[in-house]
Structure 1
Amino acid sequence: MSNVSNDRRRWLWLVVGAVAALFAVGGRWDIPLAAWLFPVFLLRFARTSRPVGGLVLVWLVSWAGAMFWIWQMAVPMTGMTVLAGLTFGVVLALPYIADRLVAPRLGTAGELLLFPMAVVVSEFLLGTFAPFGTVVGLLANTQFGNLALSQVASVTGSYGIGFLVGGCATVVNWAWAHPPSWRTARVVGGYVAVLAVVVVGGAARMAWFPVDTTQTVRIAGLNANMGLIRDQMTALGRPDVEVPRGQGALPRFDPDTVRPESAAVIDDLFARTRNAARAGAKIVVWSENAAYVSHAGLPALLSRAQDIARQERIYLLVADNVHLPSPRDSRDETHLIGPDGAVLWTYQKSHPVPGLEPYRPGGGVAPVIDTPYGRLSSVICYDADFPAMMHADADIMLVPGGDWPEIGRTHSEMAGLRAIENGYSLVRQDYVGWSVAFDSHGNTLSTQNTLIDQDMWLVDVPVHGVTTPYRVIGDAFAWLCLAGTVVLIGSVFFRQHPPASGTPKPATAREPEPIAR
């Protein structure tokens, strides 16, 4: 009877964990509390199940969460996105595999630390080495509304939040498996104390070291005119193209084949750039792919941008898509033009979206330039989902983006974590999505829903950033967690050799939890 009851409870833990996991994927319908709950129950299920069957089911839950994110965000379902979902499922299941197979053979400290360190490792692998970045699987994405907690990212990177969530799961499960005692109270109390230090410390950082707003600069964000893009599509014989999906989703075309319509889009961008300057903007940012131009037409575009920047005495970030016959040779890029008309940088998108953007990647380094308004830097859209490339010694990070209705707001809010990590203000000008500006604490300065509002967007942004520990040490915390995970797993592996004859077999630190039969 006991085994039957045990078995029923075990399946309940799986169901609760699986449902909670669907609402903790960095999507539109996230529930912050769900991110803390699902690892508790999935870990409980994995620990009380036979290794192969239990871990396969945990992997299926992780895979289902990734596919649920793809579905709710209306990401085009291609072979690449299905492969991405499978990859996410495998990587996000790794902490459970490590815990189930290794943790029972560790002492208390190792048992409590292995899972949260492995959570950091899985997030770090996705965010640094996989082509999909942290757009899925980063638990910090679910907690951005809690700015006091999120300040820990300024030290550990956003991976520190994953460590705290994973630590909660192991501490709860440890207390679950042990009778109440002073030892249990010390374990739980120790974790609560660490979490309190992080949250109280984050609140203190925001209160005692406020963002310096003594000097701000007015930045204007501009999108290409949606009506004029419809005219382009009509002239191409494609009036059925759903323009609100974003310029990034438009079919590839040679803009010179519809020269009058293409010229109208660019003329409108320059006219509104001039209006923005006369409204007080000192920096004007175009959204991603705002101007579609042929390779032959690029010099004329830049010449006009230089003239306007010089005449209006502004910094102008031109975002264009250069069409070439080979998709691989086409470019998604930006050019920063200074008030003297000089081209200060040309930057090519370093992380084209896998399966959707066939462009050749750029160099992977965010450019930085000193200006009277602080150090300016820039990446393009999806680049901001890769924390390692966002280590820029900047005061203001400019991020032209191009999204679609389902993903726009969530994708822009994810970028706010980069502002906290690196101590700069971040301005993301998003076509058909959600334009947003953050200060270096992650506070939202201004937003614009570009699905319904295509007018000029103006925001006053602090010009002085701060140098955070994370900006200096980078992903040292993640590398430490990787090293710690390897050491703990290695210690168990080397202990597996049979003892010499006559040597008693060492006892394990804790017996595996009972398996329901």
Structure 2
Amino acid sequence: MNTTSTAGRTARPGPRTPAARARWAWLVLGTAAHLLAVGGRWDIAAAAWIFPVLLLRFARTGRVWSGALWLWAANIAAAVFWLAESAMLSPATLGGAVALAALLTLPFLLDRLLVGRLRPWAALLVFPTAVAGAEFLITLLSPFGTAYGSLAVTQYGVLPLLQLVSVTGSYGIGFLIAWSAAVANLAWERASWRAARRAVSTCAAVLLAVVLAGGARLAFFPADGPTVRIAGVTADSAVLRAQKAAYAQVTGGPAELVNHPPASLGPAMRAVLDNLLAATRREAAAGAKIVVWPERGVRTPAADEPAVIAAAREEARRSRIYLEIGIGVHTAQAPAYGRNETLLIDPRGTVRWTYQKAHPIPGSETYVPGDGRVPVAATPYGRLANVICYDADFPGMMRVPADIMLVPSHDWREYGRAHTRKAALRAVEAGYALFRQDAEGVTAAFDNQGHVLADTDYFTTDRQATVAYVPMHGTTTVYDRIGDTFAWLCLAAVAALLVAGAAARRRPSDRGSRADEPSQPAAQLR
């Protein structure tokens, strides 16, 4: 209902107060949509745009702290669902999920506390800057990187939108999704198009501009030019099953692997090595110039590692290829009792780098981390670089001057495809092609715009080989030059909005409400 002010002007419509039953429906539906936007194998891109709208509506129309607890529970449910669908649920990962859920609840809490104290344009920025800032903090402070908590990974197949990460990093997509949610809530709160038209029009124009610019990048600046044939090989499933059976006989854990009788494990290990060497020879004969083995493609005691490397060097010389090998080395040193490393061998048999994994998986791997320096080698096929599997979930270390990034990996059935899709973002961010050779997962090659050049699911074939013609020259992106500037600006904006909100009185429409009462949020834009 409209009322007349003392100045003789008609006041704009106030926010509609929802029934309690509707609020709980928003929470339930928002949580359900959130389960389908967690960076897992059952993601739906549209769900990432829907759930923040519903959960923000729930947050804005109830008590502050009880609402925050319910939203924390919703975020915990989403995190646990991701762990369950990815077959990673354990006490250690559950504790991490609870902590990450708390961080991802903060944007809703900040919005609820500040939206009634700021001018309309500033109020609309609280939620998006806080979401982008929270995603960035996860990559800085947590051991999970972008494995969980990044909305950008849910948009993997939307290539025009995905091009934004070449400017802002993955945080720009999180910002846009959260900004859309804030604007949608403004339109929801106000019964008048006049009250919300400026905010809706601005947000729609920016989204359209981003998608059009991304489409133009795909159409007018394709990743063309000369290509190189790259083959990724994994040992045949039969020999891998035999190796697993041999390892299953070791009952004392990693500490016992070095001392276990060679007659038990040795033949199975050698069979895997021979199989990989034969596959390498086959793919080189077919025209591959670069061959990639998966993470820990060969497993060996430290005493036998020189022999493994010598065999790979000989194969690279004989086939005249660049050969990237992944080795899992068993040692007697606690607590890791091993190393996880890769080596690049050139056509002369020279080892160009030895790299150790910088980010062991929390709660799963005990390897001593490497120094995180990503190796880069100049070759006739462009500048090659290398990280191992989970390292690619950390955007900061992936900004390197390379043309082709090699990512030997080792996943599992429930998580392989989702994890490989996440790696595609690194290619778009940094402007290089990316070849991810995944044992027990999905191997894929991407160009620097995120197009899939080839992919193979380990579980659909007995012979493991993936061949792709990969662009030899990358490009320099804005994100490559400015790094995480956008994310830092979002954190700075959150700090400024907090100061402004603390210093401001509540707007006249909000006076009389208490911190634990339903808010009267987001007045319409003038």
The answer on whether the counterparts of 1:223 and 1:286 sit within 8 Å (CA) in structure 2 is: yes
After TM superposition, the score normalised by the length of structure 2 is: 0.90
Q: Secondary structure at the match of 1:297?
A: helix
Question: Are residue 378 (structure 1) and residue 373 (structure 2) matched?
Answer: no
Equivalent runs, 1:18-97 vs 2, <5 Å: 18-75=31-88, 77-97=89-109
The answer on whether the counterparts of 1:105 and 1:510 sit within 8 Å (CA) in structure 2 is: no
Indicate how the Cα distance of structure 1 residues 511 and 283 shifts in structure 2: closer, same or farther if over 3 A, else same: same
The counterpart of 1:225, out of the listed 236, 240, 243, is 236
In structure 2, distance between residues paired with 1:334 and 1:405: 23
Report the residue type matching 2:318 in the other structure. Q
Paired position in structure 2 for 1:253: 257
Q: Secondary structure at the match of 2:454?
A: strand
Paired position in structure 1 for 2:442: 434
How many residues matched? 495
Structure 1 residue 4, shift from structure 2 partner: 9.8
Q: Secondary structure at the match of 1:405?
A: coil
Paired position in structure 2 for 1:443: 451
In structure 2, distance between residues paired with 1:233 and 1:345: 29
The counterpart of 2:405, out of the listed 397, 400, 404, is 397
Q: Secondary structure at the match of 1:155?
A: helix
The answer on whether the counterparts of 1:105 and 1:509 sit within 8 Å (CA) in structure 2 is: no
CA RMSD of aligned residues (A): 2.2
Paired position in structure 2 for 1:508: 507
The counterpart of 1:264, out of the listed 267, 271, 285, is 271
In structure 2, distance between residues paired with 1:431 and 1:465: 26
Report the residue type matching 2:488 in the other structure. W
In structure 2, distance between residues paired with 1:104 and 1:365: 46
Indicate how the Cα distance of structure 1 residues 31 and 232 shifts in structure 2: closer, same or farther if over 3 A, else same: closer
Paired position in structure 2 for 1:424: 432
Runs in 1 of length 4+ with deviation above 4 angstroms?
A: 2-5, 249-252
Q: Secondary structure at the match of 1:8?
A: helix
Indicate how the Cα distance of structure 1 residues 17 and 421 shifts in structure 2: closer, same or farther if over 3 A, else same: same
The answer on whether the counterparts of 2:187 and 2:193 sit within 8 Å (CA) in structure 1 is: no
Structure 1 residue 327, shift from structure 2 partner: 4.1
In structure 1, distance between residues paired with 2:48 and 2:417: 20
Paired position in structure 1 for 2:222: 210
Report the residue type matching 1:487 in the other structure. A
Q: Secondary structure at the match of 1:117?
A: helix
Indicate how the Cα distance of structure 1 residues 160 and 235 shifts in structure 2: closer, same or farther if over 3 A, else same: closer
Structure 1 residue 252, shift from structure 2 partner: 7.6
In structure 2, distance between residues paired with 1:64 and 1:479: 29
Question: Are residue 17 (structure 1) and residue 30 (structure 2) matched?
Answer: yes
Structure 1 residue 295, shift from structure 2 partner: 1.1
Q: Secondary structure at the match of 1:24?
A: coil
Structure 1 residue 110, shift from structure 2 partner: 1.4
Paired position in structure 2 for 1:479: 488
Structure 1 residue 19, shift from structure 2 partner: 1.1
Indicate how the Cα distance of structure 1 residues 226 and 158 shifts in structure 2: closer, same or farther if over 3 A, else same: same
The answer on whether the counterparts of 1:104 and 1:509 sit within 8 Å (CA) in structure 2 is: no
Paired position in structure 1 for 2:180: 168
Structure 1 residue 250, shift from structure 2 partner: 9.9
**Percent of aligned positions with the same letter in both sequences?**
46
After TM superposition, the score normalised by the length of structure 1 is: 0.92
Structure 1 residue 178, shift from structure 2 partner: 2.3
Indicate how the Cα distance of structure 1 residues 50 and 288 shifts in structure 2: closer, same or farther if over 3 A, else same: same
In structure 2, distance between residues paired with 1:413 and 1:467: 22
In structure 1, distance between residues paired with 2:475 and 2:509: 46
Structure 1 unaligned blocks of 5 or more: 241-248, 497-505
The answer on whether the counterparts of 2:235 and 2:464 sit within 8 Å (CA) in structure 1 is: no
